Amino acid sequence: MSDTLAKLIEHWKGDAHSTYNTWFLWEERIKNFRSIRRGIGQVVRDIEADTFGNAYRGSSLETVVGSIAEQRQIFKGADHAFLWKPKLRIPDIYENRANQLAFARLLHHCDNCNCAEDIIEGIRKIDALNIKGLGPAVANLLYFIHPTLVPPFNTAIVKGFNAVTGGCVKLGKWDHYLSMREGMLRLNAEHRALLSNDLGAIAGLMFDVGTGRYAPPPRENDAASLNAWEADLQRVREESAAAQRQWELARESDATHTEIQGWLRDLGVSLGFDVWIATNDRGRPYGDGRLGDGCLSQLPDDVAAGMDSVRLIDVVWIGRSSTEVAAAFEVEHSTSIYSGIVRMLDLALGTKVGQNSTLFLVAPDNRKDEVEQQLCRPAFSRVSELNIRYLPYSQLKEHRGAIGRFGAGIKPLIEISQQLQRRRTG
């Protein structure tokens, strides 16, 4: 199995959407170790001072376990084992003071030891107390204290380990966890050049096998099974590469969309307008700040009295003295143009101030036909009454500097844009 497992690891590391790349190499993962370890120390201090309380909610334990549960998909649901289940009276560390203190001793002991033998001694001591509901899920806390000695633990990791090794590790038992730990250490040592001394890597591999993303290597000398397994590996890799390309395109699309909004924001300010940025875009990074910097924090009452969708229009220019909408812009980089037109209609037909506005659909140069095709929809029968114009990216990019320096009002934008008309059908 050694060669096939090495092949699995290589494919896994090359998969942009594997736990290795989305979590283990995640920059925030390392940063979180320090804060989680501090949080564990606070749990110990609260228990020792008898200020921990008798409930999970609101406790320092909830805070630190919540931080772990936010560590991407591998730790999703990590808080479930610590939630107080009153009917079962588990985990029994909230109402039983002796058990609570034993739990604190384990955390403190592991936080102050430096070798595997001492950690295992602490685990065996807590296991001997048979505290109901306090099982190997605690290893997820210990991992953030000793990542090279204690692997994370959850159902998917156990399932993956059993599938890869043919083991029969069971959930909820410390002795089974310690057995799995030994097996993971052996696998990690055997493939150390491909993995890491941080046991999060091997645990992440087991997690992805346990969730079904990867099939375990065949354990029998069966050529047909081996070929089928290798084909599955290649399929997952190709699917991941396609998904990665889509993600990169979406990210590029978001960046372009934000850049165009930024151009329109700066141009509106240069022309003397107050500027509104869509509520869901205000916090996007742009330049050295945020897209919403220097913009209105709320729309004028006459505009805000319209439909909520108006607040989602990408950019709105509003007269500083009249508080009327001079122009509104929907940037349609690659997404459906339909929703942008609907928001424009809501502004123009749902508010008085929108009736005198010039409305712009800002899109790549090659999308005009698509825009006009959308206007053929029956829902847009009244669009011919509106002053909706198509503003190509190239025209905005070429002329925005001169318009900002020498222009006045929105007339220059009308000059570089085109009137949109509904195409006749049939």
* Predicted local distance difference test score (pLDDT) of residue 102: 96
* Predicted local distance difference test score (pLDDT) of residue 426: 46
66, 72, 73, 75 alpha-carbon torsion, rounded to 10°: -40
* Predicted local distance difference test score (pLDDT) of residue 125: 93
- Tally Cβ neighbours within 10 Å of residue 327: 23
Helix axes 200-210, 174-190, angle to 10 degrees: 110
Long-range contacts of 111-114 (CB under 8 A, 24+ apart): 111/37, 111/40, 111/41, 111/44, 111/145
When mean pLDDT is compared over 193-197, 249-253, 312-316, the highest value belongs to 193-197
When mean pLDDT is compared over 33-37, 66-70, 177-181, 377-381, the highest value belongs to 177-181
Is pLDDT larger for residue 27 or for residue 168?
Answer: 168
Lowest mean pLDDT among 218-222, 248-252, 404-408: 248-252
- Tally Cβ neighbours within 10 Å of residue 7: 16
* Predicted local distance difference test score (pLDDT) of residue 254: 54
Percent of the chain with pLDDT over 90: 43
Residue 312 one-letter amino acid: L
CA atoms within 13 A on the CB side of 103: 31
* Predicted local distance difference test score (pLDDT) of residue 323: 76
CA dist., res. 172 & res. 162, Å (int): 15
pTM: 0.57
Quick check: 209 and 163 in contact, CB under 8 A? yes
Lowest mean pLDDT among 174-178, 193-197, 309-313: 309-313
Quick check: 403 and 264 in contact, CB under 8 A? no
Rg (CA), the chain: 30
Residues 6+ apart with CB under 8 A from 332: 340, 361, 362, 363, 367, 371
- Residue 421 is classified by DSSP as -
Q: Which residue do the tokens 């609907």 mark?
A: 342
Long-range contacts of 121-129 (CB under 8 A, 24+ apart): 123/174, 123/178, 124/174, 126/102, 126/174, 127/174, 127/175, 129/99, 129/102
* Predicted local distance difference test score (pLDDT) of residue 73: 81
Q: What is the DSSP string of 106-167?
A: HHHHHHT--SHHHHHHHHHHHHHTT-TT--GGGHHHHHTT-TTT-----HHHHHHHHHHH--
On average, the pLDDT of the chain sits at 84
* Predicted local distance difference test score (pLDDT) of residue 355: 60
Q: What does the pLDDT look like over 116-141, one tens digit per residue?
A: 999 999 999 999 999 999 999 999 99
Residues 6+ apart with CB under 8 A from 364: 333, 392, 393
* Predicted local distance difference test score (pLDDT) of residue 1: 62
Q: What does the pLDDT look like over 355-381, one tens digit per residue?
A: 668 889 888 887 777 777 766 666 566
